[in-house]
Amino acid sequence: MCRFMVYKGKDEILLSELILNPTHSILTQSFDSRLRLDRRRPHNGDGFGIGYYTSPTLGPEPCVFTSTIPAWNSPNLSRLASKTTSSLIFAHVRATTEGNLSDSNCHPFIHKSLMFMHNGGIGCFRHIKRKLAMSLGERWFGYVQGSTDSEWAFALLLDCLEKSGHDPDSVSGEKGFGHSVLRKAILKTIERINGFISEIPNKDRIEDSRSLLNFAVTDGHSVVCSRYVSSKKDEAASLFFSSGTSWKERRGAKKTGPEAVDPEQKDYVMERRDKGSDIVLVASEPLTFERDNWVTVPTNSTLTISNQTVMIHPIMDEFYSSNPAHKRSAGFAQAKGQTITGPDKRVLEQAITGSSSGSRSTQSSGEDMVNEAVQTEGQALAVR
């Protein structure tokens, strides 16, 4: 599975402060993913992409750089990130599930001022692809250039926006489309995907029909992310957020263990000097191992960033449970190469069916490492 990261700040930041320098940066996650326990395909090396917004004088569209070269092996990424600043950044490292290795399949995807990326996969995609495509308006049917399910999901989101009365081609003004519009578009996209899958006859369901839909979309102003699985019994893929007043290198700290291997990498910390959130980070995997920095986004919910305020809302569909003690299984997402965290932010321990005792030992050590790195705490439903 893939990994993605979102940065939204009041001020611009050098891309390298997020993508290259931190001990567990998104680049490091391309070859050392602590929350990915799929030892069959342990790397997110099937390309990468970064998207960021520039000065308004250059237009509302984001700048996007993608490549099929693994992120850890791209000198151009280092050159670009060390000389580029932005206040809104998307970054993605890819492990293919649907679609071959090509630039057109690398995230993030863009249309005008909108930018989108995905971690997960659409269940029974080959069975619903034709129906999904035929449900789109002509302009969005022709929009898709690659072969990944993620780009078709973005086309579906664009179609949902248009059918709700919001033209994705429009220049949306100083405040964009608004976080409420983007959130409704994500919810409608998820609803339509679930609807296509529900229409597949049982006799034709030779593939797993469950979907992992961790989406991120922005119009250059607001950001909306989802952490979602189309199941009432399973956990979704991991997603975290962190907010504070500054993102800084923690000087004077000595790195030990695996983190001490690369002297170029640095320990970072999210500082909070007041109740404001000048910086918000969202990531499939924490960029630091600071215990107080990261909060788990609850399964089957959306996270919205508007004016530096973080809001979390449940997705109340057929897979929603109002019971706070409702337990979910980690097995499905683990089988897809994802490690899963529960509400207490501890990695859920559940062996994958068919795993050998040796591979389970490797998994346990990875879980211990993450459990030491991520704090056990309750959920915050709104953070300023």
Q: How far is CA 250 from CA 133, 216, 266, 303, in A?
A: 49, 29, 8, 28
124 is catalytic: no
Mutual angle of helices 149-163 and 125-135, in 10-degree steps: 30
Question: Which long-range contacts (C-beta less than 8 Å, at least 24 apart) are formed by 315-318?
Answer: 315/187, 315/190, 315/226, 315/228, 317/190, 317/191, 317/194, 318/194, 318/232
Q: How far is CA 306 from CA 177, 253, 382, in A?
A: 11, 34, 11
> Of how many residues is the chain composed?
384
Q: Residue 368: CB partners within 8 Å, gap ≥ 6?
A: none
| CA of residue 213 relative to chain centroid, distance | 9
| Rounded CA separation 4/49 (Å) | 9
DSSP string, 122-170: -TTHHHHHHHHHHHS-HHHHTT--S--HHHHHHHHHHHHHHHTT--TTS
Retrieve residue 87's tokens: 């206040």
CB 219 within 8 A of CB 180: no
**Of 302, 371, 381, residue with least CA distance to 342:** 371
Query: Choosing from 2, 106, 124, 225, which is the catalytic residue?
Result: 2
Instruction: Classify residue 350 by its DSSP letter.
Output: -
CB 182 within 8 A of CB 222: yes
At residue 299's C-alpha, the angle toward residues 296 and 304, to 5°, is 70
State the distance between the two ends of the chain, measured CA to CA, in whole angstroms. Answer: 31
Instruction: Give me the active site residues, please.
Output: 2
